[in-house]
Structure 1
């Protein structure tokens, strides 16, 4: 048999594989199996053709190369000229592969900045007006979570549940941990963690303090206290935690870099040589769960309801994996996002002394800074909301996939089974939605309502069934920290700390990671 004939057949087979198989449906979670299947097929083919037809292994390897070339040639031609979305403007290479985004947008973990520049260059090729936000994220939207949400498969947290009925069932369990009664029960432990933060600030007063690091430690302590029934005393032994914080950050970076090529994430996560941090973090999660099972807290915590539901269920392998997934979600949502939001808020306080004075004046007038009194201080919530607007916790937006019949957004019809999302950072800094969009103006949420043109685009905790279950706890935590600090201290940037350095240090790892923020706290006179 002619080698050229074999090469042509292999190329045709590759193109056929793309057009008839890989072009249809989702294959992201099967990527590792596909690699194994191809490796096995190559091995078997090598054995057969070399034995029966006396074809050299070099020729077999060349045939496989032609197969791959045919597959990718078909993919490139189809995506460039025949894909149903080919008419939408954007970088040409981005049409061909998600690795374009990996190579450009996530290189410095500044995806939200890169996306904003692309929209400035190409326009609203996915509509960014209020209709888009509501069409994609409102409670009655027909869209579902996109392929990215399968990136941790087979493990699946509440956030990653793509089936709406499964998500609704599990969300009911989570909601029990965030009722008004439950929140009241958390106030004592929250107060102890806040006090520990204040002790740390007092010891460092008049000295530069890396507040990004301290708020990471604080939020992690609150999370461990309220989710796993223990206090880790992070403020007393910070060196002990450098390892787990480093591992967590590396896991987040991996997800951020390959978010646009979700088929690669299972390979990245499950092959230890590529991502040793993921395996280490999963081992740490299992330890936390085991310790929590062995040490039942006197008062129910957030994890109590999730664990009870698990114990009442059949405890299948998938149930256990989902329990680990929920633990992962608690760590990220319960510490990482709160710490980032607090850091950005305190940055704006440190650069707005007049706002600090106004807040202190209102706080001083309260009979106490108990949480029920803080709810009356509109300026605190306005300050937090403005920080969340300028620094959304998920700056690149949440991925969704349109229903089979497609989705109409404004005057545009998006075809079915199309991945869509609204880049949060971009819409919240769009002059069509907010006057002076890049300026920090808390009054836009109180006395200067005219500065908000489109309220519907501001969804700091998402909306609908996927709205953050712990948003009331997060706001309670942030109000408490801001009030306790401002009642005791004035705050300013440390020498050498610039606004630009802080802003340039911000990273996008799906959730936002603030740059280092060095501050000086001085006791009030």
Structure 2
């Protein structure tokens, strides 16, 4: 008897889910494969067909248009205006319920995000940067030496790279004179006198993780992709060179001098479009 009860319960449960997703779900009107509207296993099945999910999504948009169902509770949108509608500050969408309320990046609370963002914003103003670009050439050279040393005299190269790294760490106090640390704005007197709750030790740990990983991964990846695309498209590299030749010398280049270069901006945007820093699908919910 218990077996029949369990079978009846499961049949009723899954049957009601299918009826809801077919007839009552808010996303039922969006076009897409019928199986995708019923279960996420359709997405899993398509993903295992050779790891070509991005091509499958493109085919869906070619067939169904700008919006297409890719799961029982998910749609894929292919339209430039959707970025502001979903991620803009006026958006009514929020992050997935799986996000914790910890850092600026992971919080789902818009009030908390707004308060924390005001403090972070002060660390990225023009006054802080002094319109100066960071010269990474010495560090890049050390990285190249480290890679090459893997195939040659590793011990000697590591000693040289080690000296460069420790020299950079040892000179950090000199950098602070010209470029204040971001965290000086997170724990300064103004934030302590503010009406908002002050930062505690756990808040600094969360935002330290955000500052390190959000800036390093999202910068190194796109730069690598840009170099790869330019190396495999020499004609585009030549056009970019023509765009950069009129600029002043390397030591005189500033962020303001790089403004108004359409091809340079186009290269950056195209690399980000082809190889987004985050390959995970963004899941958002309506408030």
If the length of structure 2 is used for normalisation, what is the TM-score? 0.66
User: In structure 2, how many angstroms separate the alpha carbons of the residues matched to 1:105 and 1:85?
Assistant: 22
2:85 counterpart of 1:145: no
Aligned position for 2:213: 332
Structure 1's 204 and 325: CA in aligned 2 closer, same or farther, altered over 3 A?
A: closer
Aligned position for 2:71: none
User: In structure 1, how many angstroms separate the alpha carbons of the residues matched to 2:143 and 2:59?
Assistant: 40
Aligned position for 2:167: none
Contact 1:93 1:100 in 2 (8 A): yes
Aligned position for 1:136: 86
Structure 1's 342 and 314: CA in aligned 2 closer, same or farther, altered over 3 A?
A: closer
Which of 261, 264, 269 is the aligned partner of 1:385?
A: 269
2:127 counterpart of 1:181: yes
Deviations 1:71-106 (A, max 9, x none): 333223322343233243323333233354345338
Superposition pairs for residues 423-462 of structure 1, below 5 Å?
A: none
2:48 counterpart of 1:168: no
Q: How many residues are paired up? A: 251
Q: CA deviation at 1:167?
A: 1.3
Aligned position for 1:356: 237
Contact 1:349 1:355 in 2 (8 A): yes
Q: CA deviation at 1:196?
A: 1.8
Contact 2:93 2:285 in 1 (8 A): yes
User: In structure 2, how many angstroms separate the alpha carbons of the residues matched to 1:84 and 1:350?
Assistant: 46
Which of 29, 36, 39 is the aligned partner of 1:94?
A: 36
Superposition pairs for residues 227-376 of structure 1, below 5 Å?
A: 236=161, 299=176, 300-308=180-188, 312=192, 313=197, 320=202, 322-361=203-242, 363-369=244-250, 370-372=252-254, 374-375=257-258
Aligned position for 2:155: none
Q: CA deviation at 1:146?
A: 3.2
Q: CA RMSD in A?
A: 4.1
Structure 1's 115 and 329: CA in aligned 2 closer, same or farther, altered over 3 A?
A: farther
Contact 1:341 1:393 in 2 (8 A): yes
If the length of structure 1 is used for normalisation, what is the TM-score? 0.40
User: In structure 2, how many angstroms separate the alpha carbons of the residues matched to 1:305 and 1:108?
Assistant: 48
Contact 2:119 2:185 in 1 (8 A): yes
Unaligned runs of 5+ residues in structure 1 are: 9-62, 210-232, 238-295, 404-525
- Structure possessing the higher relative contact order (Cα contacts under 8 Å, 6 or more residues apart): 1
Unaligned runs of 5+ residues in structure 2 are: 69-76, 152-157, 163-171
Structure 1's 75 and 164: CA in aligned 2 closer, same or farther, altered over 3 A?
A: same
